[in-house]
Structure 1
Amino acid sequence: MTTMYWPSSTSTTLTAAKTRADCMAMLREVADSFGLQHASITLTPGPADVYLGPLVLESTLPADFAREFDRHQFVRQCPIIPKLAASIVPYIWCLHDTEESGLAENWPADMKALMMRYRLVTGALFPFTSLDTRRYLVRLDGDRERLTQREVNDLSMLSLAIFDQYDRLRRTELAHAETLSARELEVARWTAQGKTSVEIGQILSLSDHTVNAYLTSAMKKLDCVNRTQLVAKAIRLKLID
């Protein structure tokens, strides 16, 4: 693999990324080098998606912002998302753009206010397609002036390199994930739908103790620390819908 050097303020190389957490650390480092404070990797929203949360794989965006964004179901109101359905072109925005500049988006007023409150003034979205054909976005946000075309070009190259390494690690993880048993998958599916252990036990005619045992086993197999992480990882690995 070609060694790739990051902005002159750092000495990090892509070959140092051995885990997905390493890739995110590099992405945050790159964002910071361009005056941006947040970095995310998400699945690209589709027509049926209502919430951003289930699509997020990695993110440094404030949790309160994400919760409020989903409470208002802003995924369906975002003026940018429809343009990314099949695009390979980066999308850049700045909330300070004016109509006279010809760059201003028709942001819903309450969505714009939310982003301004969390100082997500300027951003960039870089769409990528994995080898398994799934569509992803690398998103960078911060409080600065609009990115220049040269900055966009540099960020696009760096984001692609990081995403390629991240996706390679993701697919390797998927290939080596230990298969969950039929019961563990059933329990994980019902947990994803918000059911408690008692409720799942009633549905599957099991004791809540047995349900918890299946959950614990599934968490160990997928190297998770809690139910939320188990559900998120099982969905990400396409073990459950």
Structure 2
Amino acid sequence: MITLERQSILSSEISAVDCPEDIGPAFARITQAFGFRYYLLLNALSRPQEASLARLVIEGDLPEEYIQEYDRQRLLSACPIAAIVAKSPTPVSWSIDEPDDLRGFSFPDAIIELQRSHGIGSGVAMAFRSLAGPTYTTFIFGSRPRLTQDELNEMGMILLHAFGAFERLNHPQAPAAPASLTTRELEVVRWTAQGKTSAEIGRILSLSDHTVNAYMSNAIKKLDCVNRTQLVAKALRLRLIN
């Protein structure tokens, strides 16, 4: 499936989510659309007192025997992903077949062996901070090659959209936006959430690249963000876009 078609289909499906029971199937569809097999939506991995993966799971279809063995070996405290994902505003991806220096971090042998035994060779993780306070993490696993950078960017936007639906249904009293964006700024942010570049947005809105970037910079400042990805994430959580 080409990128724009995949984005359009997934975005439409996520926008149609209107009850908590639809959240799991939405994450499962994202997982399948990118060629992965399993997903988990977890409460924050950074809870120092929590040693059980099973107790963190909100939604997911990872085999129960995987989670049981993971907890039996107490692998949660040995997993390097929690600290890395907590500091990253964008998704983190990996392949267990890559050398540690290329991957950027090292998995314990026990985690690699467990993943191999369940046909898992690669994954993606992304953290989300709710406006209501809690932090969540999504994991997606499979046997496909590691995502390309373009695929990773696309998945990041779609996961943000899905989390926006999750927060809308689970935290309906989330705080209101701290600042208003103009109509043009909102248009630019909406197209950015669809994976468009400044040049593409300029052609769509009949604006120069410089003007698009200026609108983007203004929106980033107003919502107290540091980059486009964080801007889209916050705009989704504030329900400025959907």
Alignment of 1:73-84 (within 5 A): 73-84=74-85
Aligned counterparts, 1:158-169, within 5 A: 158-169=158-169
Amino acid in structure 2 at the alignment position of 1:98: P
Aligned counterparts of 2:152 and 2:118: Cα–Cα separation in 1: 22
Amino acid across the alignment from 1:70: D
Q: What is the CA–CA distance in structure 2 between the aligned matches of 1:11 and 1:105, rounded to whole Å? A: 32
Cα 1:31/1:110, change in 2 over 3 Å: same
Q: Is the 8 A contact 2:51 2:76 kept in 1?
A: yes
Deviations 1:62-119 (A, max 9, x none): 00000110111111000211223343232111111124x6225321111110011112
Q: Which has the larger radius of gyration?
A: 1
Question: Residues 139 and 152 of structure 1: is their aligned pair in 2 closer, same or farther, counting only changes over 3 Å?
Answer: same
Map 1:170-209 onto structure 2 (within 5 A): 170-172=170-172
- Could you say which residue in structure 1 is the equivalent of 2:121? 121
> Do structure 1's residue 51 and structure 2's residue 52 form an aligned pair?
yes
Q: Scaled by the length of structure 1, what TM-score is found?
A: 0.64
- Per the TM alignment, residue 7 of structure 1 is displaced from its structure 2 partner at its CA by 3.9
Partner residue, 1:69: 70
**Percent identity of paired positions between Structure 1 and Structure 2:** 25
Please tell me whether residue 91 in structure 1 is matched to residue 98 in structure 2.
no
Q: Which amino acid aligns with 1:133?
A: G
Letter in 2 for 1:13: E
Tell me what 2:223 maps to: none
Contact 2:85 2:126 in 1 (8 A): no
Query: Hey, what's the Cα distance between the residues in 2 that align with 1:23 and 1:50?
Result: 26
Which string of whole-angstrom CA distances, capped at 9 and with x for unpartnered residues, describes residues 169-197 of structure 1?
Answer: 112499xxxxxxxxxxxxxxxxxxxxxxx
Counterpart contact for 1:120–1:141, Cα < 8 Å: yes
Deviation for aligned residue 1:10: 6.5
2:75 maps to a residue whose letter is F
Matched residue of 1:13: which SS? helix
The aligned residue for residue 222 of structure 2 is none
Unaligned runs of 5+ in 2: 175-242
Structure 1 SS opposite 2:41: strand
Taking structure 2 as the reference length, the TM-score comes to: 0.64
Q: Which amino acid aligns with 2:19?
A: T
The AA in structure 1 aligned to 2:142 is: G
The one-letter code sitting in structure 2 at the alignment partner of 1:23 is I
In the alignment, the residues of structure 2 paired with residue 14 and residue 131 of structure 1 have an alpha-carbon distance, to the nearest angstrom, of 19
**Are the aligned partners of 1:94 and 1:123 in contact in 2 as well (CA < 8 Å)?**
yes
Q: Which runs of 5+ in 1 are unaligned?
A: 175-241
Structure 2: distance between partners of 1:153 and 1:67: 32
The amino acid that maps onto 2:31 is A
What is the Cα deviation at residue 150 of structure 1? 0.6
Do the aligned residues in 1 keep the contact of 2:11 with 2:161 (CA within 8 Å)? no
Q: Kindly tell me: are residues 6 and 108 of structure 1, through their superposed partners in 2, closer, same or farther at Cα, counting changes over 3 Å?
A: same
Paired position in structure 2 for 1:149: 149
Question: Comparing 17-26 with 114-123, which one deviates more in the overlay?
Answer: 17-26
